[in-house]
Amino acid sequence: MTATLPRPTPAGSTRTPVGARLGGLLRARETGIALLIVVVFVAATVKNDAFASANSIQQLLLGASLIALLTVGQTMVIVTRNVDLSVGSVVGISAYVVGMTFRDHPGTPILLGFVVGIAVGAFFGAVNGAVVTLFRVPSLVVTLAGLYVIRGLDGLLVDGVIINPQSIPRGFQRIGFETVLGVPVLFLLVLVVVLVAAYAMRSFRSARDLYAIGSNPDAAELAGIPTQKRVFTAFLVSGSLAGLTGALFVALFAQVDVTAGRGYEFLVVAAVVVGGVAIFGGSGTVIGAALAAVLLNTIDQALVSSRISGFWTDAIAGALLLAAIAFDRSLSLRIARKLRTQEGAHRDV
């Protein structure tokens, strides 16, 4: 009797049958979210045909853009089994610093406004990453504390003063309302960031290391992956993108006060998890998270258009979040059982 050996993985390929199946499920998740966006959009249009107007679609895309941008950094963090709850506060303080720069220094180049926002965000991202990696404090604790500390600093900085549109250069504001062939420029900028990040997460080894860390941190260290450096980088990118979001917040709204970015952290985490990024780390895509941001904003706008209480938006987002976590947990358990079965079969052979 001859034993049949398992077929080897093709040269140059690192995907196991289980990994391939997981990849297929993630792609199906993204397709499902895209279809759900279409369903919600069509249903809202049937209820109110103005929902499909060009202006309404532009507002829908603009409303989803800032959250979609934040999901890029949050995806990198959550994939490593961490979380960044400080992003909303970082958006707020970055937005105010950018607005204050334009107000106090008329003639400041537009590009410098973005540099300032990214620098502020990168600073707080670096602080979060350093505390998490060097002192091994759970990221939930670190970034939750950061949420309140940064919001308090923002309150001291603002001190009741509002940045008005008159202080923001017209060219900077144009980024928030100009369109190209009917598509908002701000949305196109975010789309470029999402696509570049998606390519990097799929193609670059340093980005792929994040998945290895989230799947099994101890095994990742034994494999020689610099886990602390990678996790620190994930927080640094998350903070930098939150700072960029703060700058774009100024471009979009041209007015900043102490409430800027408040509540964004929940929306971002909800979008990331609903988009297929496992809250337990190790799997998920930037594309799925960005699509989920569009979905949540479409639901929100559909409820407003249908004159349904906005409180349902949070309820639906929470329900989708619970469903996504339950689905991911069930999926991870099935994959673990499958791997154990395969290991047992190989030993028997």
pLDDT for 243-282, tens place per residue? 999 999 999 999 999 999 999 999 999 999 999 898 889 9
pLDDT of residue 343: 66
Is a pLDDT exceeding 90 seen at residue 233? yes
Query: Looking at residue 7, what is its pLDDT?
Result: 37
Q: Say yes or no to pLDDT of 8 above 50.
A: no
Residue 18 in this model has a pLDDT that exceeds 70: no
Termini Cα distance of the chain? 12
At residue 283, the 3 state secondary structure works out as coil
Residue 339 pLDDT: 64
Contact 244, 69 (CB under 8 A): yes
Helix axes 205-215, 227-253, angle to 10 degrees: 110
Q: What is the mean pLDDT of residues 277-297?
A: 93
- The answer, yes or no, to whether residue 310 has pLDDT greater than 70, is no
DSSP state of 256: B
Sequence length of the chain is: 349
Mean per-residue pLDDT, 151-169: 95
- Check if the beta carbon of residue 169 is closer than 8 Å to that of residue 110: yes
Report how far residue 342's alpha carbon sits from residue 128's, in angstroms, rounded to the nearest whole number: 39
> Of the given ranges (198-212, 235-249, 253-267, 333-347), which has the lowest mean pLDDT?
333-347
Mean pLDDT of 35-54: 92
Give this prediction's pTM: 0.88
Higher pLDDT, 161 or 337: 161
Question: How confident is residue 53, by pLDDT bands cut at 50, 70 and 90?
Answer: very high
Q: Grade residue 236 by pLDDT with cuts at 50, 70 and 90.
A: very high
Structure tokens at 227: 């886990």
* pLDDT at site 23: 53
Residues 6+ apart with CB under 8 A from 123: 239
| pLDDT one-digit tens code per residue, 62-81 | 999 999 999 999 999 999 99
Which two structure tokens, joined as six digits, stand for 80? 């490593």
